[in-house]
Amino acid sequence: MSILCPIVAVGAVVWRGPEQLLLVRRGQPPRSGEWSIPGGRVEIGETLHAALIRELREETGLTVSVGRLIDVVDFVDRTEDGSPSAHFVLIDFSTRWAAGEPCASSDVSECGWFAPQEALARIAWEETRRIIRLSAQQVWQLQL
């Protein structure tokens, strides 16, 4: 039996004013092909904020200012028999767009700006929708 260790990753709810937020379509597992918020693994020696800024630049070409922590979420991917195949500890932050236009690269196949309600409708995982709602409340005092 192999021993799995949790993988630390960061995610960003990127706002361009209260009317738009950024979504990416994941190009790699887990949840390949699904719409989500951008982010990725934290590298050894990298701070959470540095990882977030790097991942956003690599995946979308955007520059952001990092705001407050939203929440920490566990994602456990499982095999058909229910055994864990991967465990991600996702540390999500609210961010604001600073510069650039989204251009999908790295681990994403598409990206773009969406109205908050449209973004929520595209996302399959309830935890991501919850994170976006918390960020909307935190940044804009909006109830989505």
- Mean pLDDT for all residues in the chain: 95
What is the structure's pLDDT at 93?
98
pTM of the model: 0.94
The two beta strands, 84-99 and 7-15, are parallel
3-state secondary structure the chain: CCCCCCEEEEEEEEECCCCCEEEEEECCCCCCCCEECCEEECCCCCCHHHHHHHHHHHHHCCEEEEEEEEEEEEEEEECCCCCEEEEEEEEEEEEEEEECCCCCCCCEEEEEEECHHHHHHHECCHHHHHHHHHHHHHHHCCCC
Domain spans in the chain, listed from the N-terminal domain onward: 7-140
Of the candidates 19, 43, 101, 110, the residue annotated as catalytic is: 110
Examine the residue annotation and report whether 55 is marked as an active-site residue of this protein: no
Q: Give the fold, CATH level 3, of 7-140.
A: Nucleoside Triphosphate Pyrophosphohydrolase (3.90.79)
The pLDDT-based confidence of 2 (bands split at 50, 70, 90) is: low
Q: What is the mean pLDDT of residues 56-63?
A: 96
